[in-house]
Structure 1
Amino acid sequence: MYEISEEGMTLQVELGEDAPDEVENADGWIVLPGGERWSVTFLTYLELGRILDRWQATGECLNGSYFACPDLVLTRRPGVREMLAAVREMVANGDHEISLRRVE
């Protein structure tokens, strides 16, 4: 588990085998200063394309015709810093309450 904190908010990301600056597909959690936890799934546009291409071959999700994920955040570029920038903006605007899932 990789953690990065900023202004009391912590982003925890499951990196797997990826380096923090190269990760394109990761599950994560945002921990806010009051202790609230929110789940998030990060993908880059390129990684989403690779997943859909793979599913086209395996037949999953109508042969890769769609992708559904309740807490998805797409980023243009890979890396934990990109992910942190996205969630920082979402938390500042309150968008995390609409787009992400609160974890009890």
Structure 2
Amino acid sequence: MDKPYTTVQHNDYTLTIFHGVAPLDPVNANIDVHVTFPNGESFSAVFFTLQNIETLMKDYKETGECANGSYFWTSDMLIVQKLTEQTICEIVENLLAEGEYASVFSKNEDSTIISPKDADKLLKNFDESL
């Protein structure tokens, strides 16, 4: 099983992109992004493409969610043109440089941080249990 996430190490933080195991459609998807700083603080946001929001709202018309697709909302939302690792890294860098980071990302109150090595073990155990 492929890893459902990518970890990118920067000098000042670690970026974890949770993209799932299926191939990511860079123009029609949404993903969770976590940023962890050396002091252990962790923040998260959900990155959406415009096309993905449109797709979700069309689906909601059929399921009846959100007043039959009349609206869409989520906390910690960031709308992007394209979902690629490079784009996500550039956006996070820009938000940090502009001081807008805390306005977009929410602090994760649970300070339990799973290292990539431990996450790999958990994923392997999960895969073997299937």
Alignment TM class, shorter chain as reference: 0.7 to 0.9
Structure 1 residues 21 and 8 mapped into 2: Cα distance closer, same or farther (>3 Å)? Answer: farther
Paired residues for 1:10-89 under 5 Å: 10-19=14-23, 22=26, 24-89=29-94
Q: TM-score, length-normalised on structure 2?
A: 0.70
Tell me the equivalent position of 1:8: 12
For these two proteins, the number of residue pairs brought into alignment is: 104
Contact map agreement 1:4 1:11 (CA 8 A) in 2: yes
Contact map agreement 1:21 1:79 (CA 8 A) in 2: no
Structure 1 residues 33 and 101 mapped into 2: Cα distance closer, same or farther (>3 Å)? Answer: same
Structure 1 residues 32 and 93 mapped into 2: Cα distance closer, same or farther (>3 Å)? Answer: farther
Alignment gaps of 5+ in structure 1? none
Q: TM-score, length-normalised on structure 1?
A: 0.85
* Equivalent position SS for 2:82: coil
Distance 1:9 1:21 in 2: 26
Alignment gaps of 5+ in structure 2? 110-130
Contact map agreement 1:28 1:41 (CA 8 A) in 2: yes
- 1:20 deviates by 6.3
Q: Deviations over 1:56-85 (max 9, x none)?
A: 111101111211111111111121221121
Structure 1 residues 15 and 68 mapped into 2: Cα distance closer, same or farther (>3 Å)? Answer: same
* Equivalent position SS for 2:47: strand
The one of the two structures with greater contact order (alpha-carbon pairs below 8 A, sep at least 6) is 1
Q: Provide the identity percentage.
A: 26
For the pair shown, which has the larger CA radius of gyration, 1 or 2? 2
Q: Deviations over 1:2-49 (max 9, x none)?
A: 111223222111111344683831112111243321111011111111
